[in-house]
Amino acid sequence: MTIEIRPVRPGEHDEAGRVTALAYREFVPPDGSSDWDQYLAFMADIAQRADRTTVLVAVEDGRILGSVTLELDGRTEPDDPPLASDQAHIRMLGVDPAARKRGVARALMDASIERARAAGKTRLTLHTTASMTIAQGMYDRMGFRRAPDIVFPDGFTLLGYERDL
């Protein structure tokens, strides 16, 4: 079977959002923080960002296996600072746990790189967390290098990565 990477369709927003949130559920701390519940709901709401960003899905036999949000001009959160003119940014790369280890995340990343290049971007950035070690390994293999981190007031840290396109 062939995995197709393409833009999400309006009728797929709910399912793509469900799969994206499912991919992140394993990273929710055991204390069940309400901040995580809110973030999972935010990730699942693809419809609210699909008009400002590029949301790509990995599809096999009509089943959504994963998704990624690519910020080329618009931001996932409208209040975020604008992107630099040369920059594209990856958000919320997620693969259904049942479809992992099949190259789905890599295919979504490769498609994001192609789209960013086609849009004239020369740099791709992203953030991840310390617990997402498998993703970090993939980013390293893809030529990403460490970039500045974002540290929130409560100490939560997003690890920065970037690569030239």
84-124 confidence digits (pLDDT tens)? 999 999 999 999 999 999 999 999 999 999 999 999 999 99
pTM of the model: 0.94
| Measured CA distances, 107 to 3, 47, 153 (Å) | 9, 22, 34
The answer to whether the CB of 122 falls within 8 A of the CB of 86 is yes
The sheet with strand 157-164 has its strands ordered as 4-7, 54-60, 63-71, 87-95, 123-128, 157-164, 145-151
**Residue at token pair 């981190």:** 149
Alpha-carbon torsion 32, 34, 36, 38, what sign? Answer: positive
Question: Domains (ranges, CATH) in the chain?
Answer: 4-124 (3.40.630.30)
Q: How confident is the model at residue 142 (pLDDT cuts 50, 70, 90)?
A: very high
